[in-house]
Amino acid sequence: MALATKTCIECGTKFTGRVDKKFCSDACRITFNNRLNSTGTNTVRNINHILGKNRRVLMELNTTGKSRVLRSKLLEKGFDFGYFTSIYTTKEGAVYHYCYEQGYTSSDKNWYLLVVRKDDGEREKKN
- Which positions touch Zn ion (CB under 5 A)? 8, 10-11, 13, 24, 28
| Least CB distance to Zn ion at residue 10 (A) | 5
Residue (28 or 61) nearer to Zn ion, CB: 28
| Least CB distance to Zn ion at residue 17 (A) | 11
| Least CB distance to Zn ion at residue 3 (A) | 17
Residue (17 or 100) nearer to Zn ion, CB: 17
The full 3-state SS of the chain, as one line of letters, equals: CCEEEEECCCCCCEEEEECCCCCCCHHHHHHHHHHHHHHHHHHHHHHHHHHHHHHHHHHHHCCCCEEEEEHHHHHHCCCCCCCCCEEEECCCCCEEEEECCEEEEECCCCEEEEEECCCCCCCCCCC
Residue (11 or 113) nearer to Zn ion, CB: 11
| Least CB distance to Zn ion at residue 6 (A) | 10
Residue (8 or 69) nearer to Zn ion, CB: 8
User: What is the rounded CA–CA span in Å between residue 85 and residue 47?
Assistant: 11
